[in-house]
Amino acid sequence: MSSGPQATRSPGTDLVLRHLSERFPVPDKPRLAPLDELVLTILSQSTTDENRDRAWRTLAARYPAGEVGDEADGASAAGPISWESVLRATPAELEDAVRVAGLANQKAPAIHAALERLRAEAGRITLDHLEEMSDEDAIAYLTTFRGVGVKTAACVLCFSLRRPVLPVDTHVLRIARRLAWVPPRASADLTYTALSRIVAPSERFRMHMLLITFGRSLCLARAPRCGECPLEPECPKVGV
């Protein structure tokens, strides 16, 4: 780890965006309905994208949208999954459906609780009412759901509603610390607030996607590939 004044000198966000954009394409992210994105993000917690997607496909296969009774029950049919059918599933059935994503005994109850609450509150299993909320109100509302933190809520706003928020996952958090954008032990929530101040709203989606690609390919948690890094001359390498 570097020492002295250079250790806390961090590169600007514009420079980071420029260098990473020259090195990596910005990955595409399909836009889902808000409720679909919420469940997908819950499934993604503490697992790989592959296992998250396998669990999602299992839900779609076992509880396909368009089943008899969906419209009568007021369910949203925006995506491939019938959330009414998921709500009617037993706890054991739902746990089995999402088991491949890991932590099924936590994720299944969180999904069921969200569906049950939405039906009770709105009479329909939907999160479309997020469209009417400000970013701050939507984050505050979503984080009152079981198993939903700021990162998960921010993913719903960023990817589904295309709001100018920057979700902080493990890659974004690690890189923000290494670049000295936040203190070395900053929490994900503190980092979310800090990045909201220093990254322009119009660049937050691009920054999030590029940092994830960067974190998976070069700025690894262990043995980062600094010799191949386009940020190496400017990076303070905090904690490396």
Give the separation between CA 178 and CA 7, rounded to whole angstroms.
Answer: 10
Asked about 151 being catalytic, the answer comes back as yes
Helices (H), the chain: 13-23, 34-44, 49-62, 83-88, 91-98, 104-122, 135-142, 150-155, 170-178, 188-198, 204-217
Read off φ and ψ for residue 64, nearest 5 degrees. Answer: -70, 145
Structure tokens at 125: 């299993």
Do 171 and 216 meet the contact criterion of CB atoms below 8 Å apart? yes
CB atoms within 10 A of CB 159: 23
Q: Which residue among 29, 107, 151, 237 is the active-site one?
A: 151
Q: Of 201, 199, 230, nearest to 217 (Cα)?
A: 230
Do 126 and 118 meet the contact criterion of CB atoms below 8 Å apart? yes
Residues with a catalytic annotation lie at: 151
